[in-house]
Amino acid sequence: MELAFVLEKFILITVIFLVSLGVAAYSTLAERKIAGYLQDRVGPNRAGPGGMFQPLADGLKMFMKEEIIPTDSNKFLFIAGPSLALLTACIGSAVIPWGPNIILGGKTIALQVADINVGVLYIFGVVSLGVYGLMIGGWASNNKFSLMGAVRAASQSISYEIPMGLSLIALLLVTNTLSLKEIVEQQHGGNWNIIYQPLGFIIFLVCSFAETNRTPFDLPECETELVGGYHTEYSGFKMGAFMFAEYLNMFVASAVMSTLYFGGYNYPGIDWVSNLVGPIIGPLIAMAVLFAKIFAFIFFFMWVRWTVPRFRYDQLMNLGWKVLIPLAIANIVISGIVITVYDKFF
Amino acid sequence: MDQKPMNFWERMYFPAIFQGMAITFKHMFKKKETIFYPEVEREFSENWRGLHSLKRDELGRERCTACGLCALSCPAEAITMIASERQKGEEHLYREEKYAAVYEINMLRCIFCGLCEEACPKEAIYLDGPIVPADYLRKDFIYGKDKLLEDPIASDLTLNI
């Protein structure tokens, strides 16, 4: 029993790890394809049919490139930076429920690595750890531009974590639990949290753009001002690790948003479908629905990136502190009042 | 410079962002401008100047008489040639009594101005070819007669003397 449990979790972790790496790799291709289509081009199409093997070619290129470590850099931290970025990006997916339980031969298999009862806090903690990779990498490069990028990453992360946390508090008033599994179960069918927390979702969405350092909040690495920001001095696979971490973060952020606000693996008519196709295919369909939501969010991230220009730094700070935080607090107050009134009188 | 303060809607950013996103989304379904170059080539204009070709006359003989006017007119000094005298029995190969034994154009120097074709009194050189292809070594960009000379026309037309 113990061994079976360990084996089950090990397989689940391996699969999730590989899938998220695959999604991140193909996000790079998707990004370039979408960028192309939005700009009336076709994007990469030479490596394999429709450019299918472009991520492999890019990965090979990253491996083959010369790895330059600047002379005056702190070598240990220089290597630790991208490693940490990649690590924190990978562990975020541990608490996300990928699908309902599968019942296989009288045994229940949970499609979630760890159903910890503070799942939301765990996600939040991992997301805030993510910025350390960028900070350490930027500082260890011993380069003015890298340091500027690192400082921007840190201050941006701090500024946008506050409204993100506050928008989550309003969500928790609705759900009454921190466990992601329970939050998803509460949104059974079409009863998604977006209906109760539309403003909270918009705040969370804007903040997750900032937390993943995507345009319009990509100030830590803005090419026009800071060469490459925190990864100016990086080359070869370490550079690839930073890029990979960005796409992994995007995947995890999309999964979290789908889970918290868009019902996770729930879809209207889930009961009817799972009665129809049985206890094994049903959860797999639910999982496919979750992935469809995730891919829709990833597309949205890319769509925004190739539409909206980068904010100026003061605009970024104004938006964070003077708009999003008051909005998030107002959202908490309104949600609290509405919930109290509803509980008292209905 | 005076800047008009933003009104409430502009401060919200959202309306403008949605407008922009609608525009970019429309572009996803527009016809793509890409020309898939090696397989498909853009149509050239009539006065396009591409790779040079050394012409033959209607009997398949090289028109060039190695007078050197093209090399003289070339502002980039890309053309070199070595002249040679036509021997007996070579009348079906060369139209004039003198011909270019070696005729080389350095494609890295050439600026495709077309002065050589204007200078040529024998109508022997025209810039009517395709784009000069890329290559790896500088020496491969020096095109000799093997690459420049027009293909001989069908053998039954050649003059038998």
CA dist list (Å): A329 to A160, A204, A260, A315: 14, 13, 19, 20
pLDDT confidence band for A71 (50 / 70 / 90): confident
Residue A331 clears pLDDT 80, i.e. is over it: yes
pLDDT at position A299, please?
A: 92
Taking only Cα atoms into account, the Rg of chain B, rounded to an integer number of angstroms, comes to: 27
pLDDT confidence band for A1 (50 / 70 / 90): low
CA distance A318 to A327: 13
pLDDT at position B72, please?
A: 92
* Global confidence as pTM: 0.80
Nearest CA in chain A to B38: A46
Average pLDDT over residues A90-95: 84
Concatenated DSSP letters of B63-119:
------HHHHH-TT--EEEEEEEPPTT-TTTBSSSEEEEEEEEETTT-----HHHHH
Nearest CA in chain B to A36: B28
Binding-face residues of A in 293-332 toward B, CB within 8 A: 303-304, 306-308, 319
Per the prediction, chain A carries an average pLDDT of 85
Who contacts B140 (Cβ-Cβ below 8 Å, separation ≥6)?
none
pLDDT at position B153, please?
A: 64
Taking only Cα atoms into account, the Rg of chain A, rounded to an integer number of angstroms, comes to: 21
pLDDT at position A110, please?
A: 75
Instruction: Name every chain B residue with its beta carbon within 8 A of the beta carbon of A34.
Output: 28
Among candidates A269, A273, A285, A103, which has minimal Cα distance to A188?
Answer: A269
pLDDT at position A278, please?
A: 75
CA dist list (Å): A341 to A171, A335, A338, A345, B78: 17, 10, 5, 6, 88
CA distance A15 to A299: 23
A129 touches B: beta carbon within 8 Å = no
Q: Is A269 exposed, middle or buried (0-12, 13-18, 19+ CB in 10 A)?
A: exposed
Supply B35's token pair.
Answer: 């020309």
Q: What is the DSSP letter of A318?
A: I
Under CATH, to which class is B53-157 assigned? alpha beta
A199 touches B: beta carbon within 8 Å = no
Average pLDDT over residues A251-274: 85
Residue A256 clears pLDDT 60, i.e. is over it: yes
pLDDT in tens, A201-222: 988 998 888 888 887 888 777 7
Nearest CA in chain B to A318: B11
Residue A104 clears pLDDT 80, i.e. is over it: no
Among candidates B25, B15, B108, B117, which has minimal Cα distance to A40?
Answer: B25
Average pLDDT over residues A136-152: 86
CB contact (8 A) between residue A307 and residue B20: yes
CA of A204 vs chain B CAs: smallest distance (Å): 15
Q: Please, what is the end-to-end C-alpha distance for chain A in angstroms?
A: 47
Task: Provide the residue ranges of all domains of chain A, joining segments of one domain with +.
Answer: 2-345
From first to last of its 161 residues, what are the pLDDT tens digits of chain B?
A: 788 887 777 777 778 888 888 988 888 888 888 888 888 888 888 888 888 988 888 888 888 888 989 999 999 999 999 999 988 888 888 888 888 899 999 999 999 998 998 999 988 898 888 888 888 999 899 998 888 888 776 545 555 44
pLDDT at position A152, please?
A: 87
Binding-face residues of A in 40-69 toward B, CB within 8 A: 40-42
pLDDT in tens, A76-90: 888 888 888 888 888
Percentage of chain A exceeding pLDDT 90: 5
SS3 content of chain B, % helix, strand, coil (to 5): 25, 15, 60
CA distance B99 to B85: 6
Nearest CA in chain A to B23: A307
Among candidates B67, B128, B54, B127, which has minimal Cα distance to B93?
Answer: B54
ipTM for the complex shown: 0.72
CB atoms inside a 10 Å sphere around CB A90: 20
Instruction: Name every chain B residue with its beta carbon within 8 A of the beta carbon of A303.
Output: 21, 24-25
pLDDT confidence band for A115 (50 / 70 / 90): confident
